[in-house]
Amino acid sequence: MATRTGVTPELEAAAERAQARRGLLVSLPAYVYLVVFFAIPLVIVFVVSVFGRRNPRGATVYGAPSLDAYRKIFEPGPDGSYLVLEIVWRSLWLSVLTTVICLLLAYPLAYYIGTRSPRVRNVLLVLVMIPFWSNFLVRTYAWRVLLGRSGPVTAVTSALGLTDTPMIFTVNAVLIGLVYGFLPFMVLPLYAAIERMDWSLVEAARDLYASGWQAFRKVTWPLSRPGVIAGSILVFIPAFGAYVTPEILGGSKTTLLGSYIVRQFLQARDAPFGSALSFVLMSVMLGATIVYFRTGGKTL
Amino acid sequence: MTSRWVNRVLGLHSWVVYLFFYAPIAVLVFLSFNDNRLVTVWTGASLRWYREMLQNDQVLAAIRNSLIVAAVSTLVSVILGTAAALGLERFRWKGRQLFDGLLYLPIIIPDVTMAVMMLLFFVQVFGFVELAFGPRIGLGLATISLSHIAFNISFVAVVVRARLAGLDPALEEAAADLYADRRRAFLHVTLPLIMPGVLGGALLALTLSLDDVVITSFVSGPGSTTLPVYVFGLVKRGVTPLINAVSTVMLVASMLLVFVSLVFQRGDGKVPKGTRQ
């Protein structure tokens, strides 16, 4: 702000105080709302995970603080198998694989859209936005129909003599559902990064006798990296905590962390353990997001 | 720039990806017009399942609940979210950064964690109310709306802030120089300028509220089922032609929202990015 004549330091300080008061006042309703309906619930989850115990009737009683609920994640179950760790591991590699496949599918598409004329570009972009905004549950359900026992995909694979067993309720079905569900989340940030790229740099590389591949490796790819990171985070986070997709397309052997947490509340009635798992899940997400912001991401 | 050959491969790849995007939806819509009770056995085109849907009281009640929750949560979160965006983008104040962080959390947090949070919170509150005042209250449309507002405020704020950040503060200063008071400057200068952002935020909030399954299923009580939660319950039991019809209606509704948002955002050139599943 330009200093004007006649503005004393006292006046400026008063103006600053007034500004601070107004800023707080304007934000206050949302602030209070989020403290009551978000921060306090978050604290409650933590309190339940540390102070809560499940009594034999499935109710939660409170006692001295302990990390038992967290320890349970690393302990073998009654049958001696490390069920929870298996589920966490499965969620992790499935979400990483989903992210990689989405990147491989989305990058060439985003590049293609970004290099079209503005008119074609807008049409292609809207065609990505429609699935992006469409109901996630419905889009996942479509695959239940496609991959089901008498579904079209099964009909095709058995006609080709590949396999008669439907893909539904397998890990592959969950993977397809995750990729299908989150692919638009990858395309849009990638497109944004490629679209605002300075193409004269690529031309300069080509003028200096770089091959097409070299120019891509040394110029295009590094310049589009913010989009790659943003898209990867936007796919990885919801995929790791996915609940709807494994519930609809997966089976008893493909339980993911999201479904397992829900089960702790709706079936096992073990609120402390479910709370501990939710807290761990949230911490992983926060970690991933901090990495994202550290690497210079801005669009969320 | 790119060789012809590379261009062709890229074009072909794009067609395949678009096919991947749209084929499942197209099959679903097509099958919703199947007359047969078995989803994948085609016996003829009919609107039978749409008729059945309109006669199904549970579906109609779920649609009504969804619309109530979406309207309430969008309205409240647009007002609170826009105010929060203004407070963060236009003023410097103590505690601003803490609020900034708190505002981002609902976007980052996984649905399942938020669902758990809201359930445990409401259970505690209900217990407290019963102990202190006596009346027994339970989960219902109010708890669903309160939870939806909690995540929608953040999404609205992010979209409106993006719009505010791209705005020239000189316009507001000019209004002040022309002796407009704060209220007038806001109503006649700032608000019209950020309107595309506010509407974009509202559409995002509406979509997220109409889509949510996980959080809603945790905080809904008997009789307060929303459409996605109802459909999710049906889907878990199997595939039926009725679900296909309801799904098609939901798809058409979201596509209408996309087109409305495109009309509003025209000239703005930017689409709000980032949404929960």
Which of A4, A16, A112 should one mutate to test binding to chain B, selecting the residue with the greatest count of B CBs within 10 A? Answer: A112
Within an 8 Å CB–CB cutoff, is residue B95 touching chain A?
yes
Which of A122, A133, A291 should one mutate to test binding to chain B, selecting the residue with the greatest count of B CBs within 10 A? Answer: A133
List the single residue in B116, B146, B271 with the smallest CB-CB distance to A261: B116
Phi, psi of B220 (to 5 degrees): -100, 150
d(CA A110, CA A112): 5
Within an 8 Å CB–CB cutoff, is residue B146 touching chain A?
yes
List the single residue in A38, A126, A285 with the smallest CB-CB distance to B110: A285
Contact between chains at B14 and A39 (C-beta distance less than 8 A): no
Q: How many angstroms separate the CA of residue B38 from the nearest CA in chain A? A: 10
d(CA A173, CA A251): 9
d(CA A37, CA A17): 29
Contact between chains at A19 and B93 (C-beta distance less than 8 A): yes
Q: Considering only residues 54 to 93 of chain A, which have any Cβ-Cβ distance to chain B shorter than 8 Å?
A: none
pLDDT mean values, one per 10 residues, chain A (300 residues): 65 84 90 97 95 85 89 85 91 96 97 92 92 92 90 86 85 96 94 87 86 87 88 91 94 91 91 94 87 62
Cα angle, residue A239 at apex, residues A238 and A243 outer, rounded to 5°: 85
Cα angle, residue B138 at apex, residues B132 and B144 outer, rounded to 5°: 120
Q: Considering only residues 208 to 267 of chain B, which have any Cβ-Cβ distance to chain A shorter than 8 Å?
A: 210-211, 213-214, 218, 228, 231-232, 235-236, 239, 243-244, 247, 250-251, 253-255, 257-258, 261-262
> Does B165 or A271 have the greater pLDDT score?
A271
Please report the pLDDT score of residue A268 as a whole number: 87
List the single residue in B102, B213, B250 with the smallest CB-CB distance to A39: B102
Q: Does residue B277 carry a pLDDT above 70?
A: no
Quickly count: other Cβ atoms within 10 Å of residue B229's Cβ. Answer: 23
Contact between chains at B102 and A42 (C-beta distance less than 8 A): no
Please report the pLDDT score of residue A101 as a whole number: 98
* CB B217 within 8 Å of CB B232: yes
* CB A60 within 8 Å of CB B117: no
Query: For tokens 């791209």, what's the residue?
Result: B166
Q: Give CA A122 to chain center in angstroms.
A: 26
Highest mean pLDDT among A17-26, B1-10, B162-171, B219-228: B219-228
Nearest C-alpha neighbor of A41 from the set A266, A238, A282? A282
CA dihedral sign, ordered A100, A101, A107, A110 = negative
> What are the distances in angstroms from CA A123 to CA A127, A185, B72, B270?
6, 18, 33, 14
d(CA A9, CA A4): 11
Task: Give A113's contacts in chain B (Cβ within 8 Å).
Answer: 14
Q: How many angstroms separate the CA of residue A42 from the nearest CA in chain B? A: 6
Query: For tokens 């996309």, what's the residue?
Result: B258
d(CA A165, CA B226): 35
3-state secondary structure of B272: coil
Task: Give A141's contacts in chain B (Cβ within 8 Å).
Answer: 28, 231, 235, 243, 247
Q: Does residue B57 carry a pLDDT above 90?
A: yes
Q: How confident is the model at residue B272 (pLDDT cuts 50, 70, 90)?
A: very low
Within an 8 Å CB–CB cutoff, is residue B97 touching chain A?
no
d(CA A100, CA A110): 15
Contact between chains at A108 and B14 (C-beta distance less than 8 A): yes
Please report the pLDDT score of residue A300 as a whole number: 43
Please report the pLDDT score of residue A297 as a whole number: 54
Tell me the residue type at A189: P
3-state secondary structure of A143: helix
Lowest mean pLDDT among A20-24, A128-132, B111-115, B241-245: A20-24
H helix or E strand, kind and range, residue B96: helix B96-108
- Read out DSSP for B56-77? -HHHHHHHHHHHHHHHHHHHHH
Q: Does residue B268 carry a pLDDT above 70?
A: no
Contact between chains at B117 and A127 (C-beta distance less than 8 A): no
Please report the pLDDT score of residue A4 as a whole number: 54
d(CA B162, CA B132): 44
d(CA A155, CA A175): 20
- Contacts of residue A129, Cβ cutoff 8 Å, sequence gap at least 6: A184, A188, B258, B262, B271
Q: How many angstroms separate the CA of residue A151 from the nearest CA in chain B? A: 6
Nearest C-alpha neighbor of B123 from the set A278, A64, A67, A40? A40
The model's pLDDT over B119-143, given as tens digits with 9 standing for 90+, comes to 999 999 999 999 998 888 889 999 9
CATH no. of A71-294: 1.10.3720.10
| Residue A74 in tokens | 């690393």
Q: How confident is the model at residue B60 (pLDDT cuts 50, 70, 90)?
A: very high
d(CA B145, CA B147): 5
- Contacts of residue B139, Cβ cutoff 8 Å, sequence gap at least 6: B122, B219, B220, B221, B224
Q: What is the DSSP letter of A2?
A: P
Please report the pLDDT score of residue A113 as a whole number: 95
Three-state secondary structure along A28-82? HHHHHHHHHHHHHHHHHHHHHHHHEEECCCCCEEECCCCCHHHHHHHCCCCCCCC
Please report the pLDDT score of residue A5 as a whole number: 58
Residue of A nearest to B125 (CA): A41
H helix or E strand, kind and range, residue B178: none
Contact between chains at A45 and B243 (C-beta distance less than 8 A): no
Phi, psi of B240 (to 5 degrees): -135, 155
Average pLDDT over chain B, rounded to an integer? 89
Question: What is the average per-residue pLDDT within B199-206?
Answer: 91
Exposure string of A191-217, with b = 16+ CB inside 10 Å and e = fewer, is bbbbeebeeeebeebeeeebebeebbe
Task: Give A27's contacts in chain B (Cβ within 8 Å).
Answer: 83-84, 86-88, 91, 93, 96, 99
Residue of B nearest to A143 (CA): B24
- CATH fold, domain B47-265, is MetI-like fold (1.10.3720)
Question: What is the average per-residue pLDDT within B53-77?
Answer: 96
Which of B41, B105, B113 should one mutate to test binding to chain A, selecting the residue with the greatest count of A CBs within 10 A? Answer: B113
- Residue ranges covered by each domain of chain B: 47-265
| Residue B9 in tokens | 């491969």
ipTM of this model? Answer: 0.89
List the single residue in A41, A142, A152 with the smallest CB-CB distance to B117: A41
Task: Give B194's contacts in chain A (Cβ within 8 Å).
Answer: none
Please count the helices (runs of H) and the strands (runs of E) in chain B. 12, 0
